[in-house]
Amino acid sequence: MSIPLKKLADLEKLRVANRYVALTLEYLRDFSKVGMTLKEINQAGEDFIFNELKARPSFKGLYGFPAGVCTSLNEVIIHGIPTETKVKEGDILGLDIGVEYEGWYGDAAISLGMGKVSETNEKLIECAKNTLLNSISEIEVGMRFKELSAILEKHIRSYGFVPLKNFCGHGIGQKPHEEPEIPNYVEHGSLKSGPKIKNGMVFCLEPMICQENQIPKILDDKWSVVSEDGLFGSHYEHTVAVFDNKVEILSVV
């Protein structure tokens, strides 16, 4: 496994791309309302990236994905395609966005409770968000990525939920997806095996939360990922950089 190491000049470009992601997510957090269609929300995100930021929504066309924003509603945990479906009171709306700027990529995601949501849905959103932030706070240079996966899983399970299988965080840079893969769980091997976290690494962490069943199911649209139990899920993501023995969240305003 070859994990690219970034230079300080690279980091500056990555900061811009990820700040643009964060600005778009903040814009959509305010824009998205009950009664809107997923297509309307996607179009607003694409227009903001193109027209306000003068950048490119990098998910559009990536591996054939048809939109700039993954709009994942309720039981759809990740990779939801924007449709004419309207957002309702009590829904969980996941928004996952990538931006490319001058050849460098940013990536982040949030889950929103639309209007008044149930206690379970509030807990699902809180689990994804706090798992992400708490796990980032525990990153250290020299730690194995498997140790980080174990930390992510521990936080998820502390809420009584489980991580989605077969999908993971990833490296990022001049490609939207680079090595390493970073699952939210540990399946095989010692925690002291596999690659270590080093200065110069930039990667995305993205806890994907299921209520009971970890096994994913891809819907007929060939993109939307749900749990086999069909229950609501949640998803949060940040891009982080490790430089000078410090961890910086890049996907913030």
Q: What is the C-alpha to C-alpha distance for residues 140 and 169, in angstroms, rounded to an integer?
A: 17
Please tell me whether 79 is known to bind a ligand: yes
Cα separations in angstroms, 203 against 5, 32, 34, 145, 220: 11, 28, 33, 11, 30
Residue 206: name the closest of 131, 120, 117 by CA: 131
155 is in an annotated binding site: no
Beta carbons of 252 and 122 less than 8 angstroms apart: no
170 is in an annotated binding site: yes
Nearest to 241 by CA among 5, 2, 1: 5
Residue 96 in marked binding region: yes
Structure tokens at 3: 């994990």
Say if residue 206 carries a ligand binding annotation: yes
Contact 59, 68 (CB under 8 A): yes
Q: Which residues are annotated as a binding site for substrate?
A: 79, 177
Q: Which residues are annotated as a binding site for a divalent metal cation?
A: 96, 107, 170, 206, 237
Q: Which residues are annotated as a binding site?
A: 79, 96, 107, 170, 177, 206, 237
